[in-house]
Amino acid sequence: MEQRVLLCDTTLRDGEQAPGVAFGLAEKEMIARALGDAGIDELEVGVPAMGEGEIKTISQLAALHLPVRLITWNRAVLSDLQASYRTGVEGVGISIPTSDQQIKNKLRKDRAWVLEQMGQCVLDAKKEVGYIVLGLEDASRADFAFLAEILAEAQRLGVDRVRFADTLGILDPLKVFFTLQELVKISGVPLEFHAHNDLGMATANSLAAVQAGFKALSVTVGGLGERAGNASLEEVAVALKYSLNQEVQLDLKRLNSLCLMVSLATDRKIPRAKPIIGEDVFTHTSSIHIDGIQKDFANYQTYPPESVGREHSTSFGKYSGRKTILRLLKAKGIELDQETIDELLIQILHQTQQLKRPLEEEDIMGIVVRC
């Protein structure tokens, strides 16, 4: 049986890099427990190099002994790693720039230095922790030949997984598929894809990476993260199951509560049309759609809302139509003449335009009383 794709959540690290987001210990523990209980494969829980406060917080998370591997994020700097070792986590992520742009203009170094520093850090980490993820920052702008050299060295050093980061979110699904499958062919180490959503393609790019042969995906709850955020856990998990027919360990029924939890902790409202978790994504308004789902939900639903902890609903608006209104009136035992029904439809349209939202049953009944 083909190996299941790992979902590696970085809500507590990259998610916390979103502007204005800072989790307290209680919030981190609550989110970590919820993700662990839901069946996430790995949690990236912070950056120990930030100081004693971060080290203490991560240490307390490690002490919970959650049913999930915890790793930390580190630069390819020995002092970063030494801070990580103090936390008691099972694994470390070691991130290093791989594009010439960042090697030359951020590090002020060269490719040889990158390979040397990477080697020193991996060998040091192997003495202290049981799992090592090598993160290739800005890999989407790196030279392919250099990436191949890094992969060969990573295999020689015994790295457990290599993370390909589309740090600027510049890739598209076709480029991901055709480029990354070439990396899969030459890599002796499992590969992870870390997507950013700057161009709105993080979920699509993540799926393309899986189709190219990648074995792990980096995600955050609600797509939280720096700038436009990362690939959304809920979108990726559901798409893996219902689009790619992949086995998913995560309990999808917990997605809605997970996303609401993070929304409250970050004081960021979930957009109404946000895939999977938005208020409107299982609500049908047009008469054609409502008629279709009453005959068979599969006419207009890709997957059952109950599978992700949601419920189906209908609402009323501009395109609800006469048949939908008549169906509601019949269910309520109300009979109106043709002229009153025509007036009712006009008033529904008017109120929808005023309120700028779908109308609920109680809204309709209020209009019926006035008519």
Contact status, residue 232 vs residue 222, Cβ threshold 8 Å: yes
Domain boundaries, the chain: 6-266, 283-370
Tell me the pTM: 0.88
Angle, nearest 10°, between helix axes 321-331 and 338-355? Answer: 110
Distant-in-sequence, close-in-space partners of 245: CB < 8 Å, separation ≥ 6:
none
In three-state secondary structure terms, 125 is helix
Reduced DSSP (H G I as helix, E B as strand, rest coil) percent helix, strand, coil of the chain, to 5: 50, 15, 35
pLDDT value for 1? 34
pLDDT value for 325? 74
pLDDT value for 159? 98
Beta strand extents in 199-354 (DSSP E only) = 216-219, 283-284, 313-314
Angle, nearest 10°, between helix axes 111-126 and 144-157? Answer: 20
Q: Name the CATH topology of 6-266.
A: TIM Barrel (3.20.20)
DSSP string, 142-159: S-HHHHHHHHHHHHHHT-
Residue with tokens 């006009």: 346
Cα–Cα distance for residue pair 34/66, rounded to 1 Å: 10
pLDDT value for 42? 98
Mean pLDDT, each 10-residue run in order, the chain (371 residues): 84 97 96 98 98 97 97 98 98 98 97 98 98 98 98 98 98 97 97 98 98 98 97 98 95 97 97 93 73 77 90 68 70 78 76 76 76 68
